[in-house]
Amino acid sequence: MRKPRKKLATRRELAATLGVHMASITKWEAQGLPLVKRGRRGVPSRYDLEAVRGWLAARDKATQKTVDGPLDPIQEKAARDHWQAELAEQTYKIRQRTLLPADEVERAWSAEVTGVRAKLLALPTTFSDRLFRAATLEGLAGVERMLQAAVHDVLRQLSGAGTEADSGEAA
């Protein structure tokens, strides 16, 4: 004897039965809502109502806070106090400028990267005459020395170190 077939619901019927909007069914599908047969153009998807209810119950149970008894007001107050202290600490750090908003950090970093890029791209034109003179007078060793000096000079400039003391050495 064959089992009678279960009646499968369409998206519209499922939404009406569960009392939700059809968009909720679509969203739940993306989250793993079980469907028996995926629809295609002009043919609706089919859902097993029992399987859907089981999936919703499991999802709700997983998202609920598990409590082994009545809520403990002392623990709840301690948790609230903890998060208020965290918020106060963050607020203090923001006011002291030790904790910066992400957009400020990104803006500053972008400016630094732009500065480094400009310095590096300027190297060939800035040092070409000196490099040619070093190559003519000293050969490969002179070129290497000049390139190394150029790189150190750019790094010194980018680090913000004063070049007044260094300029006496180079002269």
pLDDT tens column, 53-87: 898 888 877 766 555 556 678 878 888 888 899 99
pLDDT interval class at 16 (50, 70, 90): very high
pTM: 0.37
Kindly report, residue by residue over 106-126, the tens digit of the pLDDT. 999 999 889 888 888 888 888
Using alpha carbons, list the distances in angstroms from residue 133 to 82, 142, 156, 169. 67, 9, 23, 19
pLDDT at 2: 62
Q: What percent of the chain has pLDDT over 90?
A: 13
| Tokens, residue 133 | 């003179």
Which of 7-11, 59-63, 93-97 bottoms out in mean pLDDT, i.e. has the lowest? 59-63
Q: How many helices (H) and strands (E) does the chain have?
A: 7, 0
Q: Rounded distance, CA 21 to CA 16, Å?
A: 8
pLDDT level of residue 163 (50, 70, 90 thresholds): very low
Q: Domain residue spans in the chain?
A: 11-63, 102-159
Q: What is the DSSP letter of 97?
A: T
Which two tokens mark 138? 């000293």
Topology of the domain comprising 11-63: Arc Repressor Mutant, subunit A (1.10.10)
pLDDT band at 42 (very low <50, low <70, confident <90, very high): confident
Kindly report, residue by residue over 144-158, the tens digit of the pLDDT: 998 898 888 888 887
Least confident of 29-33, 100-104, 166-170: 166-170
3-state secondary structure string, 4-66?
Answer: CCCCCECHHHHHHHHCCCHHHHHHHHHHCCCCCECCECCECCEECHHHHHHHHHHHHHHHCCC
6-12: average pLDDT = 85
The DSSP 8-state label assigned to residue 99 in this structure reads S
